[in-house]
């Protein structure tokens, strides 16, 4: 997600807002100020409605954040670090550096979120019923936030992986069946079924009731379906590469090019060797990495007068890894950074290059030759 900005940092976790959340915040403020509050308490000033609407939206924001922070704190207690929390149109997500490795850890981390939302709902609900005069706008705001937190808890507990409910389901199947991959497959299948039901319901609403809100179910179902599929393939990916070292899948002793080569000569190298990139190497030192992408940025007529060194990615900006490094971890990092390649170096000496193609080839081999 690129269109995010950082709001603040809490406990070393970056709290990021996706621009789609601003749309949600505006919708909430508008609905509260123009429909909800005037409906519950007629006769107040527009100024009062808007103030209440905006303040209530801020509190809603804080309670979604509390839900995600609860997941994060539970994860940190289980030894999993959290880089950031992103709030977007469908709520929030706490990005874990890695997935829990035991069912109990997943259970604790997952349960913390809905429990927090439930606790907020219960607390505010109790305060509303016992202590607040219902004819006051503040009381109506408290009631609204209580009810919203109840809805957030209930929605997240739907057994549609990767929603919290689906994760709880997975941790239970994982616990009893002792097989993470199978547990995930079952949880994702149930989640997909539910997401298709949601999409179906959405279409029915659109066609038979003519209500545009049906689109919401369609989007939501689609998002959950996509997220489920991608978590499953990520898991297969991690299990395929478990225990595999970079040295086992890299291309060893790669073809290199010297820094003073011009781009016309470089083009010939690309055509001859059919690689997507070359390490730039001279004497005994590696200077960087040059790829087809770099060529594209220079107009063809300038190729004869442009040297490799002036367009390459210098070594200090390349991903440099050791041959003993864990392949899965490196691949995740490369995918996250949008990088296609990493240089493999041992004691300052170039020993290989690791590309997405190497990874794909390895996965394909793994699939064809079998092994779960
Ligand atoms: Zn949650």
Strand boundaries in 108-264, DSSP class E: 251-252
Number of Cβ atoms within 10 Å of the Cβ of 146: 20
Asked which of 199, 224, 240 is the last residue of a domain, the reply is 240
Read off the pLDDT of each residue in 154-166 and give the average, rounded to a whole number: 90
DSSP 304: G
Expressed in angstroms and rounded, the spacing between residue 77 Cα and the centre of ligand 1 is: 16
Query: What are the distances in angstroms from CA 145 to CA 99, 120, 131, 142, 308?
Result: 31, 9, 16, 5, 60
Q: What token pair was written down for 346?
A: 């041992």
Expressed in angstroms and rounded, the spacing between residue 33 Cα and the centre of ligand 1 is: 28
Each residue's pLDDT tens digit, 277-291: 999 998 888 899 998
Expressed in angstroms and rounded, the spacing between residue 117 Cα and the centre of ligand 1 is: 9
Q: What's the whole-number average pLDDT of the chain?
A: 88
Distance of CA 264 to the CA centre of its chain: 41
In a shared domain, residues 12 and 107: yes
Each residue's pLDDT tens digit, 36-55: 899 888 888 889 999 999 99
What is d(CA 91, CA 68) in angstroms, rounded to the nearest whole number? 9
**Structural domain for 312, as ranges:** 246-368
In a shared domain, residues 310 and 200: no
Expressed in angstroms and rounded, the spacing between residue 148 Cα and the centre of ligand 1 is: 14
In a shared domain, residues 236 and 305: no
Expressed in angstroms and rounded, the spacing between residue 171 Cα and the centre of ligand 1 is: 14
Each residue's pLDDT tens digit, 338-368: 678 889 999 889 999 998 888 888 877 777 7
Expressed in angstroms and rounded, the spacing between residue 185 Cα and the centre of ligand 1 is: 20
Each residue's pLDDT tens digit, 61-106: 999 999 999 999 999 999 988 888 888 876 778 887 778 889 999 9
Expressed in angstroms and rounded, the spacing between residue 108 Cα and the centre of ligand 1 is: 11
Expressed in angstroms and rounded, the spacing between residue 21 Cα and the centre of ligand 1 is: 16
Asked which of 191, 219, 240 is the last residue of a domain, the reply is 240
Name the one residue in this structure whose structure tokens are 């439930």: 118
Expressed in angstroms and rounded, the spacing between residue 338 Cα and the centre of ligand 1 is: 27
What is the model's pLDDT at position 370? 61
In a shared domain, residues 8 and 153: yes
Expressed in angstroms and rounded, the spacing between residue 129 Cα and the centre of ligand 1 is: 27
Q: How many domains does the chain have?
A: 3
What is the pTM for the complete model shown?
Answer: 0.72
Expressed in angstroms and rounded, the spacing between residue 71 Cα and the centre of ligand 1 is: 7
Expressed in angstroms and rounded, the spacing between residue 28 Cα and the centre of ligand 1 is: 20
In a shared domain, residues 18 and 143: yes
In a shared domain, residues 179 and 328: no
Expressed in angstroms and rounded, the spacing between residue 163 Cα and the centre of ligand 1 is: 7
Expressed in angstroms and rounded, the spacing between residue 162 Cα and the centre of ligand 1 is: 9
Expressed in angstroms and rounded, the spacing between residue 362 Cα and the centre of ligand 1 is: 35
Expressed in angstroms and rounded, the spacing between residue 141 Cα and the centre of ligand 1 is: 23
Expressed in angstroms and rounded, the spacing between residue 69 Cα and the centre of ligand 1 is: 9
In a shared domain, residues 124 and 179: no
Residue 180 has pLDDT above 80, yes or no: yes
Asked which of 142, 157, 172 is the last residue of a domain, the reply is 157
In a shared domain, residues 84 and 138: yes
Residue 2 has pLDDT above 70, yes or no: no
In a shared domain, residues 109 and 173: no
Q: Decide: 230 and 222 in contact? Cβ < 8 Å.
A: no
Q: What token pair was written down for 29?
A: 């403020």
Expressed in angstroms and rounded, the spacing between residue 59 Cα and the centre of ligand 1 is: 17
In a shared domain, residues 19 and 149: yes
Read off the pLDDT of each residue in 325-335 and give the average, rounded to a whole number: 79
Side-chain-side CA neighbours of residue 39 (13 Å): 9
CATH number at residue 265: 3.10.580.10
In a shared domain, residues 39 and 109: yes
In a shared domain, residues 6 and 127: yes
């Amino acid at each position: 997600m690129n269109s995010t900005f950082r709001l603040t940092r809490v406990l070393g976790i970056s709290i990021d807002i996706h621009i789609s959340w601003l749309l949600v915040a505006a919708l909430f403020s508008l609905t509260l100020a123009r429909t909800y509050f005037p409906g519950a308490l007629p006769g107040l000033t527009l100024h009062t409605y808007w103030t209440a609407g905006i303040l209530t939206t801020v509190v809603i924001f804080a309670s979604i954040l509390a839900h995600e922070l609860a997941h994060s704190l539970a994860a940190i207690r289980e030894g999993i670090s959290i880089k950031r929390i992103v709030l977007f149109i469908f709520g929030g997500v706490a990005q874990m550096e890695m997935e829990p490795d035991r069912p109990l850890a997943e259970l604790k981390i997952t349960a913390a979120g809905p429990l927090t939302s439930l606790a907020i709902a219960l607390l505010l609900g109790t305060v509303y019923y016992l202590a607040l005069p219902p004819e006051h706008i503040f009381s109506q705001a408290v009631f609204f936030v209580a009810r919203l937190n109840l809805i957030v808890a209930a929605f997240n507990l739907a057994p549609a992986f990767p929603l919290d409910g689906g994760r709880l389901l997975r941790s239970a199947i994982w616990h009893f069946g002792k097989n993470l991959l199978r547990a995930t497959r079952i949880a994702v299948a149930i989640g997909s079924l539910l997401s298709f039901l949601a999409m179906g319901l959405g279409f029915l609403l659109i066609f038979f009731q003519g209500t545009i809100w049906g689109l919401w179910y369609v989007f939501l179902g689609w998002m959950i379906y996509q997220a489920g599929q991608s978590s499953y393939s990520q898991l297969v990916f991690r299990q395929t590469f478990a225990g595999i070292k970079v040295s086992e899948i890299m291309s060893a002793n790669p073809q290199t090019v010297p820094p003073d080569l011009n781009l016309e000569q470089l083009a010939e190298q690309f055509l001859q060797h059919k690689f997507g990139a070359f390490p730039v190497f001279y004497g005994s030192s590696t200077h960087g990495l040059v790829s087809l992408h770099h060529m594209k940025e220079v107009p063809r007529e300038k190729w004869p007068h442009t040297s490799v060194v002036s367009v390459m990615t210098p070594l200090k900006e390349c991903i440099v890894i050791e041959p003993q490094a864990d392949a899965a971890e490196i691949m995740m990092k490369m995918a996250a950074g949008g990088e296609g390649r990493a240089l493999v170096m041992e004691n300052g000496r170039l020993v290989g290059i690791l590309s997405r193609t190497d990874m794909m080839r390895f996965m394909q081999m793994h699939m064809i030759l079998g092994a779960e």
